[in-house]
């Protein structure tokens, strides 16, 4: 599994032609307590950088962007029921959606963990 990061503070974990997407620890720290998430529709196709969802906290609302182009194959219904999962386990149980990649080359252009840590500092 390859994990990459975007400048918009999403993470993407790629396994084969499918990837899981969520917000980073840095993003959830900045947002504070997450109270609502709007998840994309399963079956919908997005281009890289399209808005695919929204995360709302007690402090602010922020768009969740597609790190890569692809089709939504699954959304995290547990997150819809308990948005605080985005705070308590942003890189695990707090994932947002899964996407079938349509352009795997886009993954290579994203930041690795070291680059993201330097960017977020």
65-94 pLDDT, tens digit per residue, is: 999 999 999 999 999 999 999 999 999 999
What are the tokens at 95?
A: 């994932």
Question: What residues contact residue 108 under an 8 Å CB cut-off, 6+ apart?
Answer: none
CA distance 39 to 110: 22
Q: How does the average pLDDT of the chain come out, rounded?
A: 96
Answer whether residue 110 shows pLDDT above 90. Answer: yes
Question: Is pLDDT larger for residue 104 or for residue 40?
Answer: 40
pLDDT one-digit tens code per residue, 10-65: 999 999 999 999 999 999 999 999 999 999 999 999 999 999 999 999 999 999 99
Which fold, 2-101?
Answer: OB fold (Dihydrolipoamide Acetyltransferase, E2P) (2.40.50)
Percent of all residues in the chain with a pLDDT value above 70, rounded to a whole number: 100
Count of H-run helices and E-run strands, the chain: 5, 9
DSSP letter at 39 equals P
Q: Are 19 and 107 contacting, i.e. CB atoms less than 8 angstroms apart?
A: yes
Helix spans in 6-110 (H): 25-31, 77-81, 85-88, 105-108
Whole-structure pTM value: 0.95
């Amino acid at each position: 599994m390859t994990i990459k990061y975007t400048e918009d503070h999403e993470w993407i974990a790629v396994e084969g032609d499918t990837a899981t997407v969520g917000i980073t620890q840095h993003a959830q720290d900045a947002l504070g307590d997450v109270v609502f998430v709007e998840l994309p529709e399963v079956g919908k196709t997005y281009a890289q950088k399209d808005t695919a969802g929204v995360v709302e906290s007690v402090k602010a609302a922020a768009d969740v962007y597609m790190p890569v182009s692809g089709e939504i194959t699954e959304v995290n219904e547990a997150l819809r029921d308990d948005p605080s999962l985005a705070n308590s386990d942003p890189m695990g149980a707090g994932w947002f959606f899964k996407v079938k990649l349509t352009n795997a080359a886009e993954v290579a252009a994203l930041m690795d963990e070291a680059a993201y840590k330097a960017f977020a500092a």
